[in-house]
Chain A
Amino acid sequence: MKDIQEDQPQTQVEEYDPSILPNVLPIYFKRLFPHKLFYKWLSYGEPTPSSVFVNREISFTIDDDIYIRYLSFENDAELEKEINSKAPNKIDIGAVFSSRPKHHRSTPRMLPVEREIVFDIDLSDYNPVRTCCQGNSICQKCWKFMVVSVKVLDTAVREDFGFEHIFWVFSGRRGIHAWICDPEARKLDNKARSAFADYMSLITFSSDSKSEGEQDTIARVTIGDKMHHSVKRALKIIEPHFEEVILIDQNLFGQENGILKLIQVIPDENARKEAEQYLRKFEGKSSKEIWDAFVKYANSMRTSQSGSVWNRKLKYIVEEVQIALMYPRLDINVTKGINHLLKSPFVIHPATGKVCVPFSAQAVSKFDPNAVPTINQLLEDINKYDEERKDQNSNDDKSNMKEYRKTGMLKGVKVFEEFLRKMYKGIGKDKFDF
């Protein structure tokens, strides 16, 4: 795993040092943070003072983890001013309440009424199925898990629920977030969110205390008698990636005790033991060979022993294994709660210095999380740009130009702009001026 990080392209020229944050953050917010777009998003086209905006909880984390909750702002100017002066390490976005959150102490009956539906996926939940990286690190190989997740969830949200206004964000370290912003989605209550979240998560996790060695969370999937169309569609997305990701990149079953990773998905204890006994012969072979052997084995068990578990409960076991290993692993509670705070896009991840940037779901496979610029790079970009232009003596247009256009952030901002443009059109606000 180490060599992958060493292989990183030259984008990470210098080591990022978190201690510089207090010095550079004010500059970042002042010059690069897209305040205007941010307000456009959270006001949803309502004229100022927009009620969805003024009742929205925003929280700041400043200095060393001082967490300030229940902030709210009257308009874009106030928000911009506060962000610039506080230069928070982190900004979180909460729910829209029935009244202004900043008055929460004097309004005891303040209730959350609206909130985007969000997804939160963290690569560390994939540790049992990734061999390339562990902990906080992330590489192009394990990013493929995110690629599959984005495709599966984005399609399900659009096709099954008919939501259109969704944007995806790289969290800055090892996870991704999604914000579903359709008016209907924002107004769902907790019960509906909970059902929605359960619909979106297929995997059930359990931990097997009896297994030797390190404790593993075991991911299992039960398809049942019929395959629901959403499961079928997810499988269609997963299948073409399965060989590349699980068998080749991760070589999951070829590791020491790799066979366990495969057979532990089988819920039936006896069947699991049978399969293990059979697969032990292939120990040490490549993942591909082990997988092929398993598929063959499962199929022959299914056809030869009619009426056995392989034929009934385990008739979809091959599909279940693929789903269990690759289906999106959602932090489900974040999606279920209307009042859950989630990190805002465009803030700087304090540990990595990287910007939390939106990316396009269509182009998710081309997105490289390690190429996301850090705050130092961004500031350097501006300086470099200004330096070059200075020579050409074209100072006049510089002042009008949005500064993020000069940096590596441009792509992320563009994606966000595009999302807002479509959303404004969708909610009948055609005029989206920048």
Chain B
Amino acid sequence: MDFTLTRRSKVPIKTEYDSLENLYPHNIMMYNLPPTEDIKIEEFEQLALERLKLLRIFEQSTSRNLKFGSDDFKEFVNAEMTREGLKGFLKLCSGNSTKNEAKKESEVQARRRDYISHFILRLAYCRSKDLRRWFIDQELLYFKYKFLALTSSEIKHFLEINRLDYSAISEEEKSEVKDGLYESTYGQNAAKIELTDFYKVHFTEVLDLIKFRKCFIQKGFCYVSSQDFISIISTSYAQKMNVGLESCQRILPEIENDDRLCRLLRSLHKSYTGKDYTVAANQVTPESIDQLSNKSFPLCMRMSHEHLRAHHHHKHDGRRQYGLFLKGIGLSLEDALRFWREEFTKKVDNEKFDKQYAYNIRHSYGKEGSMVNYTPLSCLTIINLSYGAGSTHGCPYKIFDTATLKTKMTSYGISQIHIQEIVNYSSKGHYQLACGKYFEVVHEKPLEAGINHPNQYFEQSQIIMGNREVKKPVPNNPRKRLAGKGLNYTMTENDDDDELWQVAEKEESMFSQKTAFEDDLDLTQINEMECN
């Protein structure tokens, strides 16, 4: 006790804080040099997940078609940050760097987290072109969003720190070119132009504005509003990031020698950070599933359900995908056993079901083996599952061709116009947008959030139908969740989960010994499925 007190005495904090202030002098950083301090592996992990959540919020804003900088955009992003417990980042996004010494420290700490987490994610996102692009896109939005909140003097400070040789033009200079600004500044009225700072830059820095005649230009210099100015700065930032990511990729093999980092970094992009659906809040009975599946199940689960009803069987991944989903919507273990038994015993006898499948179901509810309460699979996981002949799982928008999707949805009574809209998305690889469109068509209501989890789909649907109440968003506390690690694999569900599941499967087969592998070797069933 005493010990902690001395450590927390004023003097060391002061020096630490001072040097931090020097290291991180501004809310917005260009992330020029990688951090050099040592951090614990736990913090490394925490920061990585924090940053990932942050970037996913910006990704969401794009998939919801929110116009950058609009009020809707701000409202959404701020609300999500609060909900995800990203207060520090939110502070950095709201400008007005504080003068209050006490608050200043937390702000500088937030800058530090911002700085380090950025570099951690560089490690995770440098390995492929697609990942790099995703990362840069989201980082740019975050960067621009922070920039948007700056006051004129903060912008000035930022430019000085980064040795960017730009300055806003003076009021006199502005009034000299006023007519030109009014006439030629794209999309802004006179009143707005009065209030905005303008920057004078050489035309070669704003070629896009030149190309489409969107700004006033005189004698080779363009006068750009501070809004357009952001894009100049962010272009150079994006270039820097790109260079940084590429050099990061070169040193990657060295880092991956460390197993602890490697596992985290590799699975990061696919890991699910959304709401935890492990423990269902409501109850669902097996009898209601038929009815629910018609309207409240996303296509993947609706088809899983149909498959089960038609074939009285599901292969391993199919069981996992559908079973965990059902758990997530509130099917209790007892009901699940009853539900699966009813179907499966139409093909196999009770004894075989007990031996081969019941264990598996209890296991997925965390009642057997490693006692892990498994999390329902997210869209990303489902989309990325490998799919082979006879598989009964996966994202239908990805695995089915347009014609199959069309037939399927026509049989559900969806109009051709809507089907076309949906397959337009899926054929371009926007599976989740396709799913969102399907939701809107089925519910005849606009979708508030993009679909990123089948259970979220279900929940939204139930809310719209008035069967469930809108719950007040509870901030997710990442630290708390991480503390529960070992029993609850929500945060890094993917590969870990997969592995655990495999181990459990093995245990299961050892347990039931005799006919352990019969399931997957049952060729008649595969043929039967293909015939259908």
Tell me the A residues contacting B by CB distance below 8 Å: 159-163, 184, 188, 191-192, 194-196, 198-199, 225-232
Contact = CB atoms under 8 A, between A and B. Distances in A.
Given A162-B219, A162-B220, A199 B210 contact: yes
Interface stretch (B67-75, B201-209, B311-319, B514-522): B201-209
Contact of B203 (A161, A225, A229): A161
A429 to B, nearest CB: 21
A199 B211 contact: yes
B63 to A, nearest CB: 29
A224 to B, nearest CB: 8
The 8 closest A-B pairs by CB, nearest first: A162-B219, A162-B220, A195-B207, A195-B211, A228-B213, A198-B211, A195-B210, A229-B183
B208 A195 contact: yes
A228 B219 contact: no
A196 B210 contact: yes
A161 B219 contact: yes
Contacts of B186: 226
A215 to B, nearest CB: 29
A97 to B, nearest CB: 21
B219 A159 contact: yes
Nearest to B179: A229
A161 B204 CA distance: 10
Contacts of B179: 229
A184 B220 contact: yes
B217 interface: yes
A388 B11 CA distance: 103
17 contacts: A159-B219, A161-B220, A162-B221, A188-B204, A192-B204, A194-B207, A194-B211, A195-B207, A195-B210, A198-B210, A199-B211, A199-B213, A226-B184, A228-B183, A229-B179, A229-B183, A230-B217
B216 A229 contact: yes
B198 to A, nearest CB: 15
A230 B209 CA distance: 13
B274 interface: no
B180 interface: yes
Contacts of A231: 213
A378 to B, nearest CB: 39
Contacts of A226: 183-184, 186
A225 B204 CA distance: 25
Nearest to B215: A228
A228 B207 contact: no
Contacts of B227: none
B386 interface: no
Given A159-B219, A188-B204, A199-B211, 15 more contacts: A162-B218, A162-B219, A184-B220, A192-B204, A194-B207, A195-B203, A195-B207, A195-B208, A196-B210, A198-B211, A225-B187, A229-B183, A230-B184, A231-B213, A232-B183
Contacts of B220: 160-163, 184
A228 B212 CA distance: 10
For chain B, give the interface size range.
20 to 34
Greatest chain B CB density within 10 A among A192, A225, A228 is at A228
A189 to B, nearest CB: 8
A228 B184 contact: yes
Contacts of A184: 220
Nearest to A158: B219
A161 B217 contact: yes
B384 to A, nearest CB: 37
Contacts of B187: 225
A404 B180 CA distance: 46
Interface in B209-265: 210-213, 216-221
B191 to A, nearest CB: 14
Given A192-B207, A195-B207, A230 B213 contact: yes
A226 B183 CA distance: 6
B44 to A, nearest CB: 40
A154 B31 CA distance: 44
Contacts of A160: 217-220
B146 to A, nearest CB: 28
B183 A227 contact: yes
A161 B183 CA distance: 17
Contacts of B204: 188, 192
A192 B217 CA distance: 14
B157 to A, nearest CB: 31
Contacts of A161: 203, 217, 219-220
Nearest to B185: A226
B201 to A, nearest CB: 13
Contacts of A227: 183
Nearest to B180: A229
A196 to B, nearest CB: 7
Nearest to B222: A160
B361 to A, nearest CB: 60
Contacts of A229: 179-180, 183-184, 216
Nearest to B181: A229
Nearest to A232: B183
Nearest to B213: A228
Nearest to B219: A162
B30 to A, nearest CB: 23
B423 to A, nearest CB: 30
A154 B216 CA distance: 18
A191 B184 contact: no
Nearest to A191: B207
Contacts of A162: 218-221
